[in-house]
Structure 1
Amino acid sequence: MSRTSALLLVALTGCASGHSDPPSNSEATADTHGEIVGAAELAEPALGLTSIDPEGRVFHLDLLDESTAKIGTVRAPEAMHSDGRYLFAADSAGVSIVDSGVWTWDHVDHFHYYRAEAKILGDVDGKGVATVASSNSSTTGGTGLFFPESGEAVLLDTVALSRGDVKELFRLKRQPGAGLVVPAGSLAAVASGGDVTLHTADGEQVGDSVGCVAPEGTITTRVGAVIGCDDGALLIHVEDEKPVIEQMPYPDDATARRATEFSNREGRPGVAALAGTDGIWMLDTRARSWTLIPAPEPLVQVTAVADADTNVLGLTPDGRVLVLDGDSGAVRAASAPLVGDSLAARLPVALIADQQRAYLNGPAEQRLWEIDFVDGARVAREFTTAHTPLHLAEAGR
């Protein structure tokens, strides 16, 4: 094994344990616990809600002092992805990147919190609205983009993003259509054309390909990176110091629709996904097992809190937030209808869970909500916005 390959495997090992050791040329070293030159370390997380309106204007609501600041303007987005620090706003011509300026460094047994200048970082050109995949670290590893019209698979240098630079590590040509580029430590999995391959940061393939028909949906947990496939999911992790792509098939007797969008409280091993109208898929990435639990009523979105009470949050078509038992699907609590107008207008609504609260945007309602899901789905705070919060991210987590 080459020295470069060995370093990549070390980085992937760190990812699987919940902490990615950054490359040696980064200011964000293991010794500095995710610190970036020019950033201030804080005593508590600087949580905020960063949103983008239909014109591309970006706003940040500070959840500590409830002040709102405009960060800048990007192209009008058709989709948005966030890793908890950066926002990746995608349209048919590429991806615009926003740095919210706040982030948390997860050191497994403790955390470090930082604040830096919020700003627009720049654009990555591509054809078609890209799918974006990120890890749980905003200062190490990479961020993956796949452009469906051109079939271009791009890995961005997240270390460079933390310095304010947009840098491509590789851009590979693949078959146009559905695809994903999923970071896993310092490696990246490229899912396209029925196969998944692992690549180093310079684009070199590592090992053999693994089949994955119709790749759709991805998430990174404490255990590794997940890619959804027609017959289940793949888990990319480390075993005996080597990267492994492991298959997690659906149960043999499964008839429910496949999972296409995974969601959870960031980094947790438990993941939730809609199974069409048949229920909710619960994926335990530690046990490599799927469980189908009944949905008490139709849902349009779910996310796993993966806490001690196995809470799962669901969003109904009329805009209510349900708190569900992740083992039985029973309703523990429900909010009043909050985002019914937005859902009726088919506007994007994000239901985001952290350890203590959930957050929800209502573009049509021009409101943001903070929900205490443990306390009867109580609306803890409601924010009226002067702009339309079309896309929402919880920043600083």
Structure 2
Amino acid sequence: MRAHTKAAVLVVSAGLLLTACGGETRPEQSEPTPHGYVEGAEETAEAQSRLVLADPSGAVRVLDLITEEVTRLDDVPGVEGISTDGRFAYLAAGRSTHVVDSGSWMVDHGDHVHYYRADIRGAGRIDGNAVAAHSDSAVTAVVLEDGTSALLDRPALEDGDTRARQPVNGVAVPYGQRLLVATGDGIAVRERDGEGGRAIGEPCPDPEGTAVTRRGVVFGCADGALLVSEDDGTFTGEKIPYPGPVPDTERAAGFTHRPGSATLAATAGERGVWSLDVSQRSWSRVETGPVVAVNAVGEGGPLLTLTADGVLHAYDSATGERLASRPLLSAPVEAGTTPVIQVDTSRAYVNDPAGRRVYEVDYNDDLRVARTFDLDITPSHLVETGR
């Protein structure tokens, strides 16, 4: 199937402020607000997933996976990387990061989830080159290439205000109404403004790589991973050590996973890939050989890898057995155009820069290609939002 193209309507929408689930009273009326009400947004019954795509030349597109419509946004010349917090995409370009509001997000309350869609728009710019981003309802922490994190007021960001507070020295992750900050000294719990704090007792030498799961926040360490969890305001750290000695070239230095899942994936150097089961506190190494991309579907699902020859593979993360393989990309992977694998609850999305398209793959059906989206740009950078 081909995605249809339409021009973007860049409208600055009203503030998309999330009200408490218990309901509040809107000023213009006396009735309590409906459960999950968000001003200016449409609540839907299912996830409204969208793909934010960028071309090295600066072209930016947002592909709506429900309607298959493509929205064209203003160019961002010199895009070097892209990251997301689930709603906003952060396009790093030179010494600044351009923010795109994808207009698609979810709010997870544990026992139920709300899904929303709103206008797609450019949302401003922040100083520094973003490499990751994490958010809660109050604060967004954008991790920058220089090792600091820019803190943004989340409700203000939803209104298009990208003015950041004083940067925090370290990788900051909002969690449990606090900030977890990773530095060379380990992990500390701080206030949401980045001030104060106390160290997590369990050490994490040379922290690198983070992932937010329902079990807590995972930090990659030189000797394994550190899981930081919170219970009634008390934060604890639990080490998940590697199953044996691991050289620096094979440590898990960056995690990918399906949002909401507690199964993480990471490359293990040229040797293969790691699967980290956070629930079971255990690592598995799958001997795949070198890969250019990896992601984990979740508990009971396959581990997905993409090799430089353009072939997509599925492995059993527990046994290491290869379950399926499918030639996918139109050409071998070239330097500077590394594809990624984005995963949601039923599909995986892989960008094909050389073919100027994105593939939607059913990972539960022998990696069947369910849809192909042809584009008018080279999609070298891709994130999925709305999950």
**TM-score under structure 2 length normalisation:** 0.85
Q: Deviations over 1:176-202 (max 9, x none)?
A: xxx522222332222233433222112
Q: Is the 8 A contact 1:299 1:314 kept in 2?
A: yes
Asked whether 1:276 is paired with 2:278, we answer no
Residue 7 of structure 2 corresponds to: none
Deviation at 1:49, TM superposition (A): 1.9
Partner in structure 1 of residue 291 of structure 2 = 299
Contact residue 59 and residue 68 of structure 1 kept, 8 A: yes
Residue 287 in structure 1 maps to residue 280 in structure 2: yes
Q: CA deviation at 1:125?
A: 1.0
Change (3 A) 1:238 1:49: same
Deviation for aligned residue 1:209:
5.7
* Aligned length, in residue pairs: 359
CA distance in 2, matches of 1:344, 1:131: 21
Q: Structure 2 regions of 5+ residues with no counterpart? A: 1-16, 24-34
The more displaced of 104-113 and 381-390 is: 104-113
Match of 1:264 in 2: 257
Q: Deviations over 1:72-114 (max 9, x none)?
A: 3334321110123210111331221110001122233332221
- Look up the match of 1:220: 212
How far off is 1:119 after superposition?
A: 0.9
Matched residues in 2 for 1:219 and 1:291: separation? 17
Distance 1:232 1:141, change over 3 A: farther
Q: Which amino acid aligns with 1:119?
A: R
Alignment counterpart, residue 99 of structure 2, candidates 85, 97, 100: 97
Q: Deviations over 1:330-388 (max 9, x none)?
A: 111111131544x2233131101111110011122211110111111111111111112
Partner amino acid for 1:79? G
Report if the CA contact (8 A) 1:156-1:170 is conserved.
no
1:253-312 Cα shifts (integer Å, max 9, x gaps) = 5568110121111121111111113332221222332222332x43222111114x3311
Does 2:73 align with 1:71?
yes
The separation in 1 between residues aligned to 2:385 and 2:141, in whole angstroms, is 19
C-alpha separation in 2, matches of 1:300 and 1:52: 19
Separation in structure 2 between the aligned mates of residue 303 and residue 148 of structure 1, nearest angstrom: 23
Relative to structure 1, is the Cα distance of residues 120 and 191 closer, same or farther in structure 2, using a 3 angstrom cutoff? same
Matched ranges for 1:70-219 at <5 A: 70-126=72-128, 129-135=129-135, 140-149=137-146, 151-172=147-168, 174=169, 179-208=170-199, 211-219=203-211
Q: Secondary structure at the match of 1:318?
A: coil
Distance 1:167 1:235, change over 3 A: farther
CA contact (8 A) 1:133 1:219 kept: no
**Which one-letter code corresponds to 2:152 in the other structure?**
L
Q: Distance in 2 between matches of 1:246 and 1:153?
A: 24
Amino acid at match of 1:199: R
Change (3 A) 1:43 1:147: closer
Matched residues in 2 for 1:86 and 1:146: separation?
Answer: 14
Q: Distance in 2 between matches of 1:147 and 1:393?
A: 17
Aligned: 1:384 with 2:347: no
Q: CA deviation at 1:223?
A: 0.8
Equivalence for 1:322: 313
Structure 1 segments, 4+ long, off by >6 Å, are: none
User: What is the CA–CA distance in structure 1 between the aligned matches of 2:43 and 2:353, rounded to whole Å?
Assistant: 33
CA positional deviation for 1:322: 0.8
Per-residue deviation, 1:205: 2.3
User: Aligned partners of 1:34 and 1:195: how far apart in 2?
Assistant: 37
Is residue 2:347 matched to residue 1:357? yes
Amino acid at match of 2:182: A
Q: Distance in 1 between matches of 2:210 and 2:183?
A: 13
2:252 maps to 1:229: no
Cα-to-partner distance string for 1:20-40 (whole Å, 9 max, x where unaligned): xxxxxx533233665431101
Worse overlay, 54-63 or 375-384? 54-63
Aligned alpha-carbon RMSD (Å): 2.4
Q: Where does the alignment leave 5 or more consecutive residues of structure 1 unmatched?
A: 1-25
**Higher mean C-alpha deviation, range 268-277 or range 52-61:** 52-61
Q: Is 1:133–1:180's contact at 8 Å kept on the other side of the alignment?
A: no
C-alpha distance after superposition, 1:189-223 (max 9, x if no partner): 22233433222112222212664333321111111
Check 1:48–1:153 CA distance in 2 against 1; reply closer, same or farther (3 A cut): closer
In the superposition, the TM-score normalised over structure 1's length comes to 0.83
The 1:133–1:50 alpha-carbon spacing in structure 2 relative to 1, beyond 3 Å, is closer
CA contact (8 A) 1:170 1:201 kept: no
